[in-house]
Structure 1
Amino acid sequence: MTKRIDALDVLRGVAIMGTLGTNIWIFTDPGGPANFLGSDPNVAETFLRFLSNGKFLGLLTLLFGVGLELQYRSAVRRGLTWPGRYLWRAALLFAEGALHYILIFEFDVLMGYAITSMLVAYLIGRSDRAIRAWMITAGTLHVFLVSVLTAALLFGGGGIAGTATTLYSQGSWPEQVAARLRDLPVYRSELIFIIPMGIVLFLAGARLLRAGVFEERGARLRGRLVVAGLGVAAPLNLVTSFAGPAWFAVDRYILPPLVALGLLGLVTSIVLGLRGAPGVARTALGRVGRTALSCYVLQNLVASALCYGWGLGLAARLDWLRPWWVPVAWAGICLLFMILASLWLRRHERGPLELAWQWAYQAPWRKRATSPVA
């Protein structure tokens, strides 16, 4: 498959905006990320968090699996060894995620995707039977881990204890960097915890691509995904959102990935059903999707500058307007990177970080190709 899949760009754009919809609640908590994890929001904030929590992480993870399948097909078509160069690609993603974590955001997902992609790269070319067995095994492990954590929260105190700090409302950027390095085991624990879920969703994305979910022939499959994800999982997810902090893991790691499947089916059906020239919304989302890595890092950088004490400090200043000012901040940041993505793509084929990443990816083979022959 060499033709660009338009629905993928739109889905990536939706996933990037939705990921900020989850992260914005962390940035706008004046007590910092640790306090956010243990917070007990009111009804309005609980509902607003429900709209994005875990769902777009799941969607983005599915799309990484689709991308891995496309990379595998490209390698096979060109006669390249697999996973071969892909491992270098994953290593670069890990390095980029590490810098993103240290310099900008505690809950970076790129490092986790890099580790998961290295594992799944060795599975992607195996038979459907083998892939199904790996999905069942990883899925069972994931459900077991979530069940253990949920039982511990239910019978051990009812939730995750929050720890408020003035580091984010009053501290400097170097102090926050030092705290991320010091607390690395705490903040990176999620990365290890969700690897089984990542394996399942990566492989699910690859299998959905093979099943034709992005083609006209996949209409029936997309319909099933919408019913299961939005008709069944979403209402259950709403219940767990209000069930209390002890259900945190189920509310984020079990039901939202199922909702993500429904979102994938719905958005893809809408894109395939549109006729004529793309409208403003589809064009803007597609451009964000084409610059997804740049927009992901930019949104977290801008949110930090707006909310933290070393920037405008809006998290503390506007806490009295919570939760209502938070969706406004989300919309403003989204509008900003949609405009910037559109302006950038007028002159370039890829986003700025994508261009830098592509240069680094090609560097070892570029040097080898230009080395003089003895």
Structure 2
Amino acid sequence: MTDTRSALIDSRHLSLDVIRGIAVMGILLMNIVAFAMPFQAYMNPLAYGDPGPADLAVWATNFVLADGKMRGLFSLLFGASMLLVVQRAEARGESPVLTHYQRMSWLLFFGVIHAYGIWFGDILMLYAVVGMIAFLFRNMETHKLLTLGLVLIGAQAALVGVATHSIWTLARAAAAPGAEADTIAAWTSIAEAIGPLPPVELARELALFQGGYLGILAERTGPDFWQPIAANGFAAPETLGLMLAGMAGLKSGFLTGEWRAAAYARIARIGYLIGLPLQIGLALLLMRAGFDPVAIFFYDSTLQVIANPPLIAAHAALILYWVKSAQESALMARIAAAGRAAFTNYLGTSLICTTIFYGYGLGLYGELGRAPLYLVVLGVWAAILLWSKPWLDHFRYGPLEWLWRSLARRQLQPIRKNR
């Protein structure tokens, strides 16, 4: 084996771990609302409770800086890490096809367990299926990967735009004099999906998630069975585009910290100068529209898909500038450890938050306003940063990373570090 191949097998990129650590913690900034409130509140801060100025400020901050951006970072890193695993398999003389598809098959299994047994907002199923597709592009040139990724993100916006136009047409038809009952019912169903629930439905929702585990499980595997699958399918083009961009980021050396610090600073500056005004403008337009359902579909689900990439790139570049220009600190080391154990931390966050909010735990579902939820976020972040590094000081992998690796390789992997 050549020295180059040995270096590839043994390499560990601090930059990838730090970005992944920030992304896996940052995803909770948005997911916390879906853990703690009816899902309508995820996109519409007026959909539940009586939001005050602090709640709206929290929503606006997350909309501008986190919504779609942290998931975007996570998707970039998934694509980059997927390609890195494939390259290491090739360097070891192993089958990249077998290595990759065994990993994705087991990830799909974990995603099904997560979506139906723990929390409906799973992304592992999406990553597993889209990752199977992304593998087919692994040998594409860097600029072609990036171009195709951007095209797929544009295609996502176009598809949602078509759906938004249909919803706008339905809204006009339902509001027209003499509208048919079926038209009104169809529009009401859409409006309730992202707006305040009727009192009877709200009471049922609160009772369900403040109740026992078996009732929630029956809902997930019964009436809501297709919800995680539909949500994952809806986001597939954008996710594939981001994974391909992540593969391009690995090949170009951007995500591995091989560029000069000044280059990262320039990309961050340009990304924020483009992305922040777009995001702030969309947030203001949504508030001005009173979070009307059509406005949410248009400004949030359609236009934000296009507005997200500059900020995703800016966030990544800013993190990489920090890694490149600063000495490794205790904080950076803990965030990197959180990234190395991202799989465990992602599923662990779901276990912690469902235990806090659902009835089989503390039963706080629907009890906290939007702003106070971020005290819970800080607590979960503290737990992630406190456990990850001490664990990885003694073990090679996080617990679930070890299990995933052992299942994919069909034999138990060594987990303890040699002293």
Q: Same fold (TM over 0.5)?
A: yes
Question: Structure 2 residue aligned with 1:174, among 203, 214, 233?
Answer: 214
Equivalent of residue 261 in structure 1, options 298, 313, 316:
313
Asked if 1:88 corresponds to 2:88, the answer is no
Check conservation: 1:18, 1:56, Cα contact below 8 A: yes
Shift of 1:96: 0.5
Which residue identity lines up with residue 111 of structure 1 in the other structure?
M
Distance 1:92 1:312 in 2: 31
Q: Is the Cα–Cα contact under 8 Å of residues 12 and 292 in structure 1 kept in the other structure? A: yes
User: Equivalents in 1 of 2:385, 2:253: separation in Å?
Assistant: 29
Alpha-carbon separation, structure 1, partners of 2:96 and 2:133: 13
**1:267 Cα deviation from its structure 2 partner:** 0.1
Q: 2:365 aligns with which of 315, 325, 329?
A: 315
Q: Which has the larger radius of gyration?
A: 2
- Which digits, 9 at most, give the CA deviation of each residue in 1:181-203, with x for residues without a partner? 22132332121121111221111
Match of 2:394, SS state, is: coil
Say if 1:25 and 1:49 are closer, same or farther in 2 by CA, change over 3 A: farther
User: 2:301 aligned with 1:249, yes or no?
Assistant: yes
- Aligned partner of 2:155 in structure 1 is 141
1:126-205 to structure 2, matched below 5 A, reads: 126-128=140-142, 131=145, 134-135=148-149, 137-157=151-171, 160-162=193-195, 163=197, 164=202, 165-182=205-222, 183-205=224-246
Aligned match of 1:342: 389
- The answer for unaligned runs of 5 or more in structure 2 is 1-7, 172-189, 287-295, 414-419
Unmatched segments (≥5 aa) in structure 1 = 367-374
Check whether the contact 2:29–2:377 (CA below 8 A) recurs between aligned residues.
yes
Partner of 1:291: 341
Aligned-partner residue type, residue 253 of structure 1: V
- CA 1:128/1:17 → structure 2, altered by over 3 Å: closer, same or farther? closer
SS at match of 2:410: helix
2:62 to 38, 46, 49: 49
Partners of 1:25 and 1:259 lie apart in 2 by 22
Amino acid at match of 1:212: G
- Partners of 1:299 and 1:334 within 8 A in 2: no
Does the 8 Å CA contact 2:30/2:66 hold for their aligned counterparts? yes
Q: What TM-score, normalized by structure 1, do the two folds share?
A: 0.87
Aligned to 1:280: 330
With the length of structure 2 as denominator, give the TM-score of the two structures. 0.79
Q: Deviations over 1:172-222 (max 9, x none)?
A: 111112212221323321211211112211111111122221334354653
- The residue number in structure 1 matching 2:373 is 326
Post-superposition offset of 1:345: 2.0
Counterpart residue number, 1:4: 12
- Size of the aligned set, in residue pairs, is 359
The runs of at least 4 consecutive aligned structure 1 residues that moved more than 6 Å come to: none
Provide closer, same or farther for how the CA distance between residues 66 and 218 of structure 1 changes in structure 2, counting only shifts above 3 A: farther
- State the shift of 1:250 in Å: 3.1
Percent of residue pairs bearing the same amino acid type: 24
Please give the root-mean-square deviation of Cα atoms over the aligned residues, in Å.
Answer: 2.5
C-alpha distance in 2 between matches for 1:181 and 1:252:
32
Does the 8 Å CA contact 2:104/2:132 hold for their aligned counterparts? yes
Partner of 2:12, secondary structure, is coil
